[in-house]
Structure 1
Amino acid sequence: MKKILFVCTGNTCRSPMAAALFNRLAAASGIGYEAASAGLAATEGSPASASAIKAMEGYPGADLSCHTSRRLTYADIKEASLVLTMERAHRQYILSMYPEAHQKVFTLKEYVYGADGDITDPYGGDEAVYRHCAGILSKAVEKLAEKLK
């Protein structure tokens, strides 16, 4: 099975939501991919943000209640078929550390829509901000699953 890695800053909001949403679709469609997530500045072992967990309640099968954050490693980059970041700055940082990965590191919006852009960090926002972010991620991940079929 091929692996997709979603990357954000702290691995408590965007990337775990994206991975959970993708895995929910991948399981239903059998596309041969699975997703994981990591953060560039993650504190190892932190839970997903309470608001991210709540936002995922609207997407059955995308449960973050058992998620624990982890920091991006070289092994993650090496093992992934595709690395999708939430921001251009994340992509730049990864490519500065691992230039050999240039053919598989993109922002999520760049890979899915062909137009570069960031997915705004909901951290610190209210539940409506998290739900909005989850909606953006859900649409992007649906397009991603279609593209990978």
Structure 2
Amino acid sequence: MAMRILFVCTGNTCRSPMAEAMLRSMAEGRGFPVEVRSAGVSTVNGLPVSAHASKVLADRKVAYDGRSSAISGEAVGWADLILTMTVSHKRMLLERFPEAVNKTHTLKEFVDRDSSVLSDLEEVERLYSELHMKAALGEQLGEAERTRLLELERRIPSFDIADPFGGSLEEYHSCANEIEDALRRLLDKLQEMQGQDEGEVEGANEGKDEGGKDEGKNIGNEGKNKSEVEGSEGDDKGEKGEFEGKDGNKDD
């Protein structure tokens, strides 16, 4: 079954459409099954992709004829994995769809393999969740928590892909290169995850096969033992009959 991936940016006319189109093309080249869509957190439906983004995709011989889509509950529910272009997009999406927290990441965060960085990110997200909760109650984070949040944000590398909107064609090419590098690592990770899942399924099937063999062997042994017992009983009956016959002849 193909994985469903949703890319999210602001207007859904630059970064996320480029990511959508490039991933679809790259995955097809690898023979990896995937369904891809994109959306924006601050847009309306039906806007065309920006001229520079269209040019960048054409230069890479990547086809795209989509139009903008505003983020929706339907799109969030459809996706197996939601990848945003910035941390801000991620927070905006989760404020509206908190149920998607376990499948929503920034693109660069998702492909990063540094466990220490990921641990810092989890702590930042926890502190921001507390901040939003306290703000709703008219409260504030404590001094120690604010200091810790600032410290974490300073040392965590940027997981944002900068918005090229309004920039030059060169800036769009630079943005596309950054996205492409992340997509290459994304496909590597997804294929690795798929290999692990297939290995677990094969292992489970092998266990079932071995169990079936053992069960068949046990049933065979039971049948063999039953036959031997019945044969033995038959021999006993035969011997008994022969003995009784001899006794009868003696009486005559």
3-state SS of 1:12 partner = coil
Q: 2: distance between equivalents of 1:30 and 1:104?
A: 24
Partner residue, 1:140: 182
The answer for unaligned runs of 5 or more in structure 1 is none
Structure 2 residue 40 is the aligned partner of structure 1 residue 39: yes
With normalisation by structure 1, the TM-score equals 0.94
- Runs of 4+ in structure 1 displaced over 3 angstroms? none
3-state SS of 1:35 partner = strand
Give 1:117's aligned amino acid.
Answer: F
- 1:55 deviates by 1.0
3-state SS of 2:159 partner = coil
Partner residue, 1:86: 85
* Residues 17-44 of structure 1 deviation map (CA, whole Å, 9 limit, x = unaligned): 0010100011122222121100011221
Q: Do 1:26 and 1:34's aligned partners in 2 also have CA atoms closer than 8 Å?
A: no
- 1:56 deviates by 1.2
Partner residue, 2:160: 118
- 1:102 deviates by 0.8
- 1:85 deviates by 0.2
- 1:143 deviates by 0.7
Q: 2: distance between equivalents of 1:96 and 1:137?
A: 25
* Count of matched residue pairs: 147
Q: 1: distance between equivalents of 2:74 and 2:66?
A: 20
* Residues 103-133 of structure 1 deviation map (CA, whole Å, 9 limit, x = unaligned): 1000001001245510000000010000000
Q: 1: distance between equivalents of 2:32 and 2:179?
A: 19
The answer for unaligned runs of 5 or more in structure 2 is 118-157, 192-252
With normalisation by structure 2, the TM-score equals 0.56
Partner residue, 1:12: 13
3-state SS of 1:102 partner = helix
Query: What is the CA RMSD across the aligned residues, in angstroms?
Result: 1.2
Identity across the alignment (%):
39
Structure 2 residue 17 is the aligned partner of structure 1 residue 3: no
Q: 1: distance between equivalents of 2:39 and 2:103?
A: 16
Give 1:86's aligned amino acid.
Answer: M
Partner residue, 2:51: 50
Q: 1: distance between equivalents of 2:45 and 2:73?
A: 16
Give 2:161's aligned amino acid.
Answer: I
3-state SS of 2:182 partner = helix
Q: 2: distance between equivalents of 1:30 and 1:75?
A: 27
Partner residue, 1:129: 171
Write 1 or 2 for the structure with the bigger share of strand: 1
Structure 2 residue 105 is the aligned partner of structure 1 residue 63: no
Q: Do 1:31 and 1:148's aligned partners in 2 also have CA atoms closer than 8 Å?
A: no
Q: 2: distance between equivalents of 1:10 and 1:99?
A: 21
Structure with higher Rg: it is: 2
Partner residue, 1:99: 98
Q: Do 1:87 and 1:119's aligned partners in 2 also have CA atoms closer than 8 Å?
A: yes
